Structure 1
C-alpha cells in the first residue's frame, strides 16, 4: 500500500478499498462525557475524487440528516472509484437536545472557519475545516428550512461559477437559487478554499418529508454518477423537469399579527396580486388577504399557524434566468 494511496484523517490511515469510522470531539459535557462527531469513510480500490457529504450543522434540521442516513444505509456511499466521506450530524450537541444552536448559544453556521481556542461551536468548526474539509474535492451539504418555514427543494450556489452551475444542474432539484455566501458560514469558508459546494435546502425543522428526502438522495446519486463514482446496482432517474433558476427574490412579511394560513402549495407560480394566504383573528372580526407583490415562484412558505407582524411568511422569486 503506497503512501500516495493512503488517506490520513483524524489519526487514522485508510487505504484504497478500505472503510473506516472515525470521529472527532473537542469538548466534554458537564458530566465529563465526551460527544463524538462520527465520520464515515468508504474508499474504492480505484483512485478518484473525494466527495464529502455533510448534514446537521443545525441540530433541528432532521431532514438533511435523514438524507445522509439513507445514502449510508443504502450503500450509495460506497464508491465505484475514489472516496466518499459522510458526516451525517455535525452539530451532535444540538441534535441530541433537538436544538438548532450549540449549547453555548451560538449558531455553528456563523462561526466558520472557527478557532482552536474559541467558543465550543468555533472549535467544532475549526476541527471540521482543518481535519476533514481539506481532503474533499467536492462537498454536498444538506439543510432544511428554519423554524416553521418550509423550503422547496433547492440547491444554493453563488453566481458566475461554471463548475457549480454544472453540478447544480446535474443534481436536478426543482430550483437553483443563486444566493451570496453568508459571512462566517460553512459555504463561505469552503468557497475561500476553492472547494466547490452544493448546499441543498428542503423541508422544515423537526420534520422528515418523503419527497424532500427523495430529492436529496436522488440528487446525490446523480452527482456521483456524473463523477463516475456511483456503482452499477444503483439507477439514476432524470429530473421531472429542468430546474428553475432564481436570480433574485424577496421575503413577504406579515402586515398583521394573527392566525395565518397559506392557500397555495409550495413551488407554485403566482401572478401579481393573487391571493396566496390570509391572516385572521380568533374572533372572526378580522380577515386580511395576503397578496403576491409580483409574479414569481413561491419557494418557501411559513407553516406556523400563528404569526406576528413582520414575520417572514412567503419567499417569492422576483427575477428568473431568461427573464
Structure 2
C-alpha cells in the first residue's frame, strides 16, 4: 500500500507512517546544570487510519496519579490502537515533577499561561510548544489531574455545559461523576476549546498520592473511550461501569467554621441528606467538638483529608443540582 501525505504524521520534526511506533522528544529547555531534559512523547499508529487521541498528564508536577494512569496505558499496551493514532504525554511539566512542585521553576502555573508565547516565561514557552506542535495534530484530548492541598477528588470529568458534543464522550468514558464547569481563562482546556478540539478533563485523587480506585477509573475510562471510537485493541475488553454517570449542574463548597483538628465521617461518592453530619472539628485538648453538617442534599465529590484545618478552609465539595 502506498502511503499518502495524509497518512504520514509529522510531529516535532519526526515523520511517522501508519503502522509505526515512535518516541519523540518534546524539548524545551535544559536544567540549570546544563543537563538535557527529555519529555517523551509516545506515538503509536495503527495500520488503518482513524482518529488521533492524546492522553496528557502532569501539567501540574505534583499530580502524580494522572501520570500513573498514562503510564499504565503505555505499560499495558492499551495505547496501541486498532485504528488511528494514540499519543501519550505522561509528564508535561517535567520540571515540576522533578522538584515535586505544582508549578514551574519560575513559579508559574502552566495551566494559567496558555496558549503561551515563544519568547515568554519557561511555562509560557512550554504552553506555546504544546499548543502549536502537538494539539493541531489531534482530535480528542483526555487530560488527567488530581485535587490539591490534601483535597481528594472523586473520579470525575469536567467540561463546560455549552460544549454539548462532549456529553456522548463523557458517557462513553463512564466516570462516576461529570461536573459541568466553566472554562478558565488561559487554561489548557480553554485553548483546546477555542481550537475546536474535544477535551475531557479528568479529576481524581489528590496531589502526591496514587490511589488504585482512581487509577482504575482513569484506565478503564480510557479503554471505554477507545472502544467507543473503534480504536481499542482486540487484546483488551472495556467493561461497562457498575453505576451510571451522575451529571452535576451545580455544586458548592462546605467550609470550616472553626480552626482545629478535622476528621471526615463520610466517604467520596456518598450521597448525603441535608443536616447529615459530615465530619468533626476538634481541638487538641478535648474541650471542643464541632459537628460539620450538610447544608443541602447531594453527592460528596471532594473531601479534605488534611488532619488540621483553618477557619474558611474547603472541607467538602457537594453537588447542589443534578442535570
Which category describes the TM-score, using the shorter chain as reference length?
Answer: over 0.9
Name 2:242's counterpart in structure 1: 240
Displacement after TM superposition at 1:106 (Å): 0.7
Corresponding position: 1:250 with 2:246: no
Displacement after TM superposition at 1:160 (Å): 3.3
Q: Please point out which of 68, 72, 82 is paired with 1:80.
A: 82
Give deviations 1:153-196, integer Å, cap 9, x for gaps.
00111113332000001100000110001111100110000100
Q: Distance in 1 between matches of 2:236 and 2:38?
A: 31
Indicate the larger mover: 43-52 or 154-163.
Answer: 154-163
Corresponding position: 1:55 with 2:57: yes
Corresponding position: 1:31 with 2:60: no
Q: Please point out which of 164, 170, 175 is paired with 1:173.
A: 175
Q: Please point out which of 9, 19, 22 is paired with 1:20.
A: 22
Name 1:65's counterpart in structure 2: 67
Q: Distance in 2 between matches of 1:160 and 1:13?
A: 36
Displacement after TM superposition at 1:34 (Å): 2.1
Displacement after TM superposition at 1:86 (Å): 0.4
Name 2:94's counterpart in structure 1: 92
Corresponding position: 1:269 with 2:271: yes
Name 1:284's counterpart in structure 2: 286
Question: Where has structure 1 moved over 3 Å in runs of 4 or more?
Answer: none
Give deviations 1:234-280, integer Å, cap 9, x for gaps.
01100111111110001111111110000111111111111101111
Give deviations 1:277-301, integer Å, cap 9, x for gaps.
1111101111111010111111100
The 5 A counterparts of 1:288-299 are 288-299=290-301
Q: Distance in 2 between matches of 1:176 and 1:131?
A: 30
Displacement after TM superposition at 1:38 (Å): 1.0
TM-score (norm 2): 0.98
- Size of the aligned set, in residue pairs, is 321
Name 2:44's counterpart in structure 1: 42
Helix, strand or coil: the match of 2:165? Answer: helix
Give deviations 1:13-34, integer Å, cap 9, x for gaps.
0000001101122222221112
Q: Please point out which of 207, 210, 219 is paired with 1:217.
A: 219
Q: Distance in 2 between matches of 1:4 and 1:296?
A: 49
Give deviations 1:39-97, integer Å, cap 9, x for gaps.
00000010111001100000111110000000001111001001000000000001111
Displacement after TM superposition at 1:4 (Å): 1.8
**Structure 2 unaligned runs (5+)?**
none
Displacement after TM superposition at 1:228 (Å): 0.4
The 5 A counterparts of 1:114-153 are 114-153=116-155
Q: Distance in 1 between matches of 2:143 and 2:163?
A: 17
The 5 A counterparts of 1:302-317 are 302-317=304-319
**Structure 1 unaligned runs (5+)?**
none
Q: Distance in 1 between matches of 2:98 and 2:229?
A: 34
Helix, strand or coil: the match of 1:132? Answer: helix
Corresponding position: 1:10 with 2:12: yes
Q: Distance in 2 between matches of 1:191 and 1:232?
A: 31
Q: Distance in 1 between matches of 2:105 and 2:18?
A: 38
Indicate the larger mover: 305-314 or 156-165.
Answer: 156-165
